[in-house]
Amino acid sequence: MYGIALDLGTSGFRAQLIDLETKETLKTVITMGHPLPGGNVMDHLDFAITTGEDVAHEVIIETIRRMFLRFDVDLYSVERLAVCGNPIQLSLFQNTEIRDLAYAGENKQKMLGVRNVKRDARMFSASEIFGEKDLHNCEVIVPPAIKHEIGADALAMMLETDFLIHSEPSLVTDYGTNAEMALKIGDRIITASAAAGPAIEGQGISSGMLASPGAICDVKPEGQYWKIIVLDREMEKQNAYLIDPITGEIKESYGCEAIGITGTGVISAFSLALRSGLIERSPKLPNGKLILGPGIEITEKDVEEAGKAIGAIRAAHMTLIVESGIKYEDLEYAYMSGASGAYVDAEDARRLGAAPGYAKKIVQFGNTSLALARELVLEKSRLDDVIAIAKKITADHLMMATSETFNNFYLCELSYWTQGMPLEMYDQMLELYNLPPLPKILEHVSIEKRVSKDIEEVGSGGLSILKEIGIILEVPVEKCVYCKKCVKECPENALEIVERDSQRIAKYDSQKCLGTSCRRCVGVCPEDAIDITKLKITAK
């Protein structure tokens, strides 16, 4: 009999097939991106509310089916499925209430009648959401949320690191598109999240990609050249070549090919450029770009996008410290988890602000969400322990969207990353806001890397990557005049207009569509022919 551990991340899904008798991981499957339109949780929420929760749920379940088929086993032999993720992803997976997650205001929630929605732990038959076709003999386990804003993934980052055992002030962050974080001071835990955006995981930048084979994940200096480090087929770091980042001249190759760059690679490259004096101020680059390989460049626009993500995380960290009442120098531990937390050079992250440079000890972990799901697959009684721990955590939640402190910090971060504001002026602005100055970066800290990659064991069957999920959303466009302005306007080539049975139809590749943050197709249509509220998944 088999079990499956599933992590529903904002930037993509990860799943592992596990032999329940030997407890061995047999195979790992990941997607290159999220199946719903858009690059963050707000896009996914908006799509579900605008187009329909049933449609969003169907897209997610169909994606999971396609992932499971990659395991090449009889799905009737899967006995247990444990699913971890943030409240939005888990709610869409289960096709349960999401409006309380979309609207923060109490009056709005009261008007909608969605107050006090519970997201307790659940165990139920897979047939409830997968039907009778697949996973017929399977039980689904969903761990609890601490509060409606703090989901199973945030609980996982606390449980799977040493965060909960320390009496000294400690910070844990699950680095990703929506960076969850928690600050522990004695028995008090303050939780928060920062909508960092997709650039932190290599999306939304010109040569960007998620952490996967061929992705540049790190850069090291070698005289005038940079040593480019990529992930191999086993997701281990390997040297690719030495390159001049200004001219693109490759001095030496080591046999590994780079095909793109992930968020940690952007952080490393920009940190190195600042340290070496190659650039003096963000986002200005020599000749407007850094060349990291054939056809692989970092542009000033990329630096801005990455800077917004780093700035959101740094602003959230500082907001947590300030609002908690402690001082920056009181922070003892900083835990980093997730793919970005595992692959990033912690020293580079400290220097840029993605990790707190004022923490005395930094510890790097991998994918804690998948790790917790795996534990639940192997021993479902572990759920009782997780529920007990969740009840003991009296979490205060700090909502960044309504925090004036965060707003002021992030305005300074935006000015620094996108307008080149010097740090001296940054401190002057903080003084005007009556906030403490930027914390000093400690020169000598302890950095411990507990893992070599975000998923330590991919299994004897290796890693399978579902690059093209291939789910198509369709909507009839009766007023379409076939000008194809919408098709030309789409920046991701996610749209085509076809004729079928004498009817014109707009077809969207759900994975490629940018969703709420774009909608150029709707705006450019001269006939207002596209009604995205009526999108439906193509018959499978």
User: DSSP letter at 199?
Assistant: G
Q: Where are the domains of the chain?
A: 2-154+371-392+461-466, 160-198+304-370+394-449, 201-298, 472-537
Ramachandran class of 222: left when φ > 0, alpha when ψ lies in -120 to 50, beta otherwise: beta
pLDDT of res. 148 = 67
CB under 8 Å to 474, separation ≥6 — which residues? 505, 506, 507, 508, 535, 536, 537, 538
Q: Where are the beta strands (DSSP E) in 351-502?
A: 361-364, 395-397, 446-449, 463-466, 472-476, 495-500
For residues 476 and 129, give the distance between their C-alpha atoms in angstroms, rounded to a whole number. Answer: 28
Report the run of H or E that residue 436 belongs to, with start and end: none
Beta bridge partners of residue 2, listed in sequence order? 19, 78
Q: Which two three-digit tokens encode residue 98?
A: 């999401």
* Angle, CA 519 vertex, CA 518 and CA 525 arms, to 5°: 140
Q: Which two three-digit tokens encode residue 261?
A: 């760059």
Q: How far is CA 152 from the centre of its chain?
A: 15
Question: Is domain 160-198+304-370+394-449 classified as CATH 3.30.420?
Answer: yes
80 neighbors 377 (Cβ within 8 angstroms): yes
Residue 483: what residue type?
Answer: C
Residue 178: what residue type?
Answer: N
Cβ-defined contacts of 70-75 (< 8 Å, 24+): 70/27, 70/29, 70/464, 70/466, 71/2, 71/4, 71/15, 71/17, 71/26, 71/27, 71/29, 71/461, 72/27, 72/461, 73/2, 73/17, 75/134, 75/135, 75/136, 75/138
The CATH number of 2-154+371-392+461-466 is which of 3.30.930.10, 3.30.70.2750, 3.30.300.20, 3.30.420.480?
Answer: 3.30.420.480
User: DSSP letter at 327?
Assistant: -
Q: Which two three-digit tokens encode residue 320?
A: 């947590």
263 neighbors 179 (Cβ within 8 angstroms): no
Identical fold at 2-154+371-392+461-466 and 160-198+304-370+394-449? yes
User: What's domain 472-537's architecture?
Assistant: 2-Layer Sandwich (3.30)
251 neighbors 225 (Cβ within 8 angstroms): yes
Pick from 407, 393, 321: nearest CA to 147 = 393
- Mean pLDDT by 10-residue block, N- to C-terminus, for the chain (540 residues)? 95 95 97 90 91 95 96 95 94 92 76 81 94 87 83 91 94 90 93 82 82 91 93 89 95 92 89 85 84 92 89 96 96 94 91 94 96 96 90 81 94 92 94 95 95 90 93 96 95 93 94 90 95 85
Residue 408 CB neighbours (<10 A):
19
Give the torsion sign (CA, 8, 11, 17, 20). Answer: negative
50 neighbors 519 (Cβ within 8 angstroms): no
Report the run of H or E that residue 373 belongs to, with start and end: helix 368-378
Q: Assign 3-class secondary structure to 110-147.
A: HHHCCCCCCCCCEEEECHHHHCCCCCCCCEEEECCCCE
